[in-house]
Amino acid sequence: MLEQLKGGRLPLVMGILNVTPDSFSDGGQFLDPKRAITRARGMVDEGADILDVGAESTRPYGSAESVALAQEIARLEPVLPALLELGVPVSIDTMKAQVADWALAAGAAVANDVWGLQRDPDMAHVIAARAAPVIVMHNRDRADPTIDIMADIAAFFARSLKIADGAGIARAQIVLDPGIGFGKTPEQSIQVLGRLAELKRFGLPVLVGASRKRFINLVVPSKPSERVGGSIAAHLLAAQRGAAIVRVHDVAETVQALRVAEAIEKAR
């Protein structure tokens, strides 16, 4: 997957597939394997470069139910083999090292850890053993409106990179994700997007997942399904600030926006 980041000006588009009953935006829509596979095929047709599949909701503020290891794998088993046949890399979105190991062994190309190698002590070792790329996301147990959120993100990434180094994960295999909406107030999420370029100091690709997030509701009150425009605005600006990957629900709309923006930029 990381080889695709070299060259093109446009960020890669990662399509979100939640095979969960309780994800904040589309919970329950794709719990049925047939519907999930149909949705994945549709996202690839719409231009998704990567598919990110998760079977445990990671929605913030403690509102998601924890999922047992066996149940998480049971949700993935009927879906993952079909996704691997669609011709794009598949990322496994999980907090559990055993699930990551199972999915990577089955053919998934990337591990996406919303706790940045800092929650499950085995995660970094599993990823190193599989020689897989990893998305390291910033997270906090709770938001604190009094902190400098960019300083907190920088300190978190420094810890994650130290863990990665200790486990033997090559720097070239790491993507950083500032975790829009995770352990942050809506105001802080907006601040992170505005200051995204500061993350260039790490010299690593950056993923931004602003799709349908709560900060959009702060600016324009709206339900998650009504936040497509705000999501596109956030991802276009993130691309301008150097994002290498954007993680989205609305693939066709995002791909169109990125391509039109690129065409306009080329015409200047």
> Do 30 and 39 meet the contact criterion of CB atoms below 8 Å apart?
yes
Edge-to-edge strands of the sheet including 12-18?
Answer: 174-177, 134-137, 110-113, 90-93, 50-54, 12-18, 245-248, 207-208
Spell 249-263 as b/e; 16+ CB within 10 A means b: bbbbbbbebbeebee
β-strand 90-93 against 50-54: which pairing, if any? Answer: parallel
* Nearest Cα residue to 185 out of 235, 144, 138: 144
Give the other-Cβ count within 10 Å of 178's Cβ: 29
Angle at 239 between CA 36 and CA 132, to 5 degrees: 55
Residue 176: C-alpha distances to residues 78, 86, 96, 231 (Å): 29, 26, 18, 19
Catalytic amino acids? 213, 247
d(CA 17, CA 27): 10
